[in-house]
Chain A
Amino acid sequence: MEAFKIFLLVMLVACAVSVSLTKRLLTSVIIYMCYSLIMSIVWILLRSPDLAITEAAVGAGVSGILMLLTLKKIRRTATDDEAKEGSANEE
């Protein structure tokens, strides 16, 4: 169990770093959702099932969906105006 916990914590740090390092915004949002899922397993290991359910529903679900929708909205605005590609929507 100890090793599993350490593995999860290392994965958390790896996810957090790779969110920062990836170029595409879509990838970093998806990695953030994975991060939240791993976090909810960590909550179960810390014996807080309330937090686990909330984190899985709110962190991985709703926040991620909102970020994905933002990306979609931004891409749509950019294509609507036939603006230059690049700068913002790096995907």
Chain B
Amino acid sequence: MKNSAFAGFLRWLDGDPEILLGAEEMTEQPDVPRDSQKQRIHHLEHVLKDHPLPVPRAFSRRNVRIFYAVVSVVCCLVIISCLLLAVSDLPRFGVEHAEVEEVTEKYVLDGLEETGAVNIVSGIILDYRAFDTLGESFVLFCALNCVLILLRTDSREEEHDISYYSLSGDDVLRKSIMFTLPLVLVFGVYVLLNGHLSPGGGFSGGAVMGGGLILLSTGYGGEVTGRFITERRFKTVCFIALSFYCLSKSYVFFTGANGLETGISLGTPGAILSSGLILPLNIAVGMVVTCTMYGIYRMFKKGSF
């Protein structure tokens, strides 16, 4: 009873900061000198390279490899032949199938009227299935966070940059980037903003803009892009874009509607300022994708912003 959570809570109320200290999980461990352990592992690696451990004959590396190869050939053949069998029974390619048409019919015929988007795919992913796309942006954000966790280098273990691998001093690259970069960025912005009128949208436009930033950072070094993309600005843009998307679509949870009525007028279809929330959502998604692509690139390249 003395160590229960409630007693701990009472002690915390009394001002004891370490409420779990008496419990058995928190008994003090002798401090393991991790560095010496690392050194030992390193030493063992060297010793074992010269004298490998004996392995039973049946499980020798060669036998295991042959067994693995045979099993994978069999697996591949079985899976491919099953899939080919299934495909040969599918309806003919390119011919309309009458029985799967209900959802499509709704989307194609009512889409323009209900969402205001001329591009039906854009209307689907940002209006009918906007929640799906919200999850997708969060997948991208999670990927960025994982890469940050895995590849970030501390200032302590500063990675010394080997300049002769870097292309950033190259004159040819710089000149060609000077000509192509404005085109790439303008094309990215065009694709991003016209997502509801023409093919494209948040994901492709964001990827093109991220590619432009990557190009700039390759040619002119990370300092140039680092001047206007600081870590703080990066975080702010990601946060604002994601929370805007989240707030503008998650009210559906509470109202329980199908999420199409936003209160914003849909405008005339075909105009750039039309189709309600799709344009701002496209911009939000594009910002997240740009930040993710550039952030992942920076993490792979340098390990910090």
Contact = CB atoms under 8 A, between A and B. Distances in A.
The answer on direct contact between A and B (beta carbons under 8 Å) is: yes
Size range of the chain A interface in the assembly: 10 to 19
Contacts of A54: 203-204, 207
B282 interface: no
B199 A76 contact: no
Interface in B186-244: 191, 199-201, 203-204, 207-208, 210-211, 214
A31 B203 CA distance: 24
A65 B296 CA distance: 10
A50 B121 contact: yes
A66 interface: yes
Nearest to A53: B204
A5 B199 CA distance: 21
A57 B289 CA distance: 12
Contacts of B204: 50, 53-54, 57-58
Contact of A50 (B165, B201, B293): B201
A57 B208 CA distance: 6
Interface in B283-303: 293, 296-297, 300-301
B162 interface: yes
Nearest to A70: B300
Contacts of B162: 76, 79
Nearest to A67: B300
A24 interface: no
Contacts of B200: 50, 53
B119 interface: yes
A62 B211 contact: yes
Contact of A62 (B165, B199, B293): B293
Interface string A7-49: 0000000000000000000000000000000000000000011
Interface in A46-75: 48-50, 52-54, 57-58, 61-62, 65-66, 69-70, 72-73
Interface residues of B, number: 21
Contacts of B207: 54, 57-58, 61-62
Contacts of A49: 199
Nearest to A57: B207
Nearest to A44: B199
A69 B301 contact: yes
Among the interface residues A50, A69, A73, which one has the most CB atoms of the partner chain B within 10 A?
Answer: A50
B296 A57 contact: no
Nearest to B209: A57
Nearest to A79: B162
Nearest to B94: A46
Contacts of B301: 69
Nearest to A49: B199
Contacts of B293: 62
A69 B167 CA distance: 12
Contacts of A65: 211, 214, 297
A82 to B, nearest CB: 13
A76 B79 CA distance: 39
B199 A53 contact: yes
What are the 8 closest A-B residue pairs judged by CB atoms, nearest first?
A: A49-B199, A57-B207, A53-B204, A69-B300, A54-B204, A50-B199, A61-B211, A58-B207
17 contacts: A49-B199, A50-B121, A50-B199, A50-B200, A53-B208, A57-B207, A58-B203, A58-B204, A61-B207, A61-B208, A62-B207, A62-B214, A65-B211, A65-B214, A65-B297, A70-B300, A76-B165
Given A50-B121, A53-B204, A58-B204, 6 more contacts: A50-B122, A50-B200, A62-B210, A62-B297, A66-B300, A73-B300
